[in-house]
């Protein structure tokens, strides 16, 4: 069912915080040769580890195309609570192409379909054809049986927003005001669409994201709610790192903002890896890029950030990068263990996910439990 008359705000639906209880999580089995080198073998191993961690405390739904659904089922057959289903997509970024789920006070759930244009369309999109990705939200809503609001042609990716569940939306200006998304709309008009379709009351804009983030700096890589009134911000003390000025600028803004409830935000710094994670010449040998697709280069710095974690019901599923960043990995885990009492911190080696352009939060999309309905 599509509701074209009203909006979630009008109907009393809203996006809860990601730290609230989930019914499940959506992922997509990776296969795109231009994203996942060497036949996605290493990426699939990393996906399996992420899925295994999430499945400890919530259901997992994994979409896979016809050419790889057998591989997905074989790889995941020993993990209880995982449903593998058939759906064709252009790539595996469930955060950005799966529906955004909403709840209301009665425990009902609906979702939103946004327009997807590969992070910039013909202006600066990352691949030339994205029709399958753009169709996925409605496909999943139908598979799952959830009524779906259609926000198209408004362009939005799930990784470009965070919500606190109490009326506040967090986003970066660099992303949502980029020319490749909704150039015909003003900042005020974009804000209005966010409030209407997320059932929210206030948008908090921070200027920038993670240096080199090819999504035009999604918020989910730089800043996330831990709970209402409290966020983590990707950080570095290294003034020679280009991330220093980006994070400093966002910190200055965050310290001046108040949320929809009038609260000043508590900002916790979550340092990025000490050593930049880069594409190697060996990595480059494994990619197969199609004409018009954004390509990698040896030595290219990837947008590595520990903020790109996933809140499962029982844990924080945290990316780790290993090698020269083992100390950074431990530091990030210790910080989040302290900030998230009651949850395990489960670190997963995720460099093979990062080689695709995103990380653990980018490949996951939560399905919340309705208000008053606990798992």
Mean pLDDT of 289-303: 97
Domains of the chain: 2-368 (3.75.10.10)
Distances (CA, A) of 12 to 6, 24, 372, 373: 10, 22, 15, 17
Known catalytic residues are 362
| Contact residues for 61 (Cβ-Cβ < 8 A; gap 6+) | 24, 25, 26, 27, 82, 83, 85, 140, 144, 367
Over 70: is that where the pLDDT of 229 sits?
yes
Over 90: is that where the pLDDT of 371 sits?
no
Question: Residues of the chain with pLDDT > 70: what percent?
Answer: 97
Among 158, 139, 147, which residue's Cα sits nearest to residue 198?
A: 158
Mean pLDDT of 299-315: 98
Question: Residues of the chain with pLDDT > 90: what percent?
Answer: 96
| Contact residues for 43 (Cβ-Cβ < 8 A; gap 6+) | 30, 36, 37, 352, 353, 355, 356
Helix or strand run (H / E) with residue 269: strand 266-271
Taking all residues of the chain, what is their mean pLDDT, rounded to a whole number? 96
Each residue's pLDDT tens digit, 317-358: 999 999 999 999 999 999 999 999 999 999 999 999 999 999
Angle at the Cα of 349 from the Cα atoms of 344 and 351, rounded to 5 degrees: 135
Over 50: is that where the pLDDT of 374 sits?
no
Instruction: Note the pLDDT of residue 205.
Output: 98
Instruction: Note the pLDDT of residue 2.
Output: 44
Each residue's pLDDT tens digit, 4-61: 448 999 999 999 999 999 999 999 999 999 999 999 999 999 999 999 999 999 999 9
Global pTM reads: 0.97
């Amino acid at each position: 069912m599509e509701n074209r008359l009203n909006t979630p705000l009008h109907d009393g639906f809203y996006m809860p915080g990601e730290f609230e209880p989930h019914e499940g999580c959506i992922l997509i089995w990776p296969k795109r040769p231009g994203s996942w080198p060497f036949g996605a073998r290493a990426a699939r191993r990393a996906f399996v580890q992420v899925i295994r961690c999430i499945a400890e405390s919530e259901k997992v739904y994994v979409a896979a195309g016809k050419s790889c659904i057998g591989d997905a089922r074989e790889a995941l057959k020993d993990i209880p609570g995982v449903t593998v289903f058939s759906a064709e997509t252009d790539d595996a970024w469930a955060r950005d192409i799966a529906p955004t789920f909403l709840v209301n006070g009665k425990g009902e759930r609906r979702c939103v379909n946004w327009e997807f244009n590969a992070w910039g369309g013909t202006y600066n999109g990352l691949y030339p054809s994205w029709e399958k990705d753009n169709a996925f939200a409605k496909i999943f809503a139908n598979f799952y049986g959830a009524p779906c609001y259609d926000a198209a042609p408004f362009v939005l990716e799930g990784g470009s927003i965070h919500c606190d569940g109490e009326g506040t939306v967090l986003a970066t200006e660099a992303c949502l005001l980029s020319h490749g998304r909704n150039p015909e709309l003003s900042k005020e008009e974009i804000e209005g669409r966010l409030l209407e379709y997320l059932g929210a009351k206030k948008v908090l804009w921070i200027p920038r994201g993670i240096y080199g983030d090819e999504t035009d700096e999604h918020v989910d890589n730089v800043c996330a709610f831990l709970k209402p009134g409290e966020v983590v911000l990707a950080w570095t003390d290294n003034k020679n790192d280009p991330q220093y000025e980006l994070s400093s600028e966002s910190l200055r803004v965050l310290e001046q903002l108040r949320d929809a409830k009038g609260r000043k935000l508590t900002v916790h710094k979550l340092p990025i890896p000490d050593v930049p994670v880069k594409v190697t010449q060996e990595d480059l040998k494994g990619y197969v890029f199609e004409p018009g697709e954004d390509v990698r280069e040896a030595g290219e710095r990837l947008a590595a950030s520990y903020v790109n974690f996933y809140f499962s019901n029982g844990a924080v599923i945290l990316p780790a990068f290993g090698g020269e960043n083992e100390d950074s990995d431990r530091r990030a885990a210790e910080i989040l263990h302290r900030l998230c009492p009651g949850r395990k911190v489960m670190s997963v080696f995720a460099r093979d996910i990062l080689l695709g352009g995103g990380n653990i939060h980018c490949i996951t999309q939560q399905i919340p439990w309705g208000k008053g309905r606990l798992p």
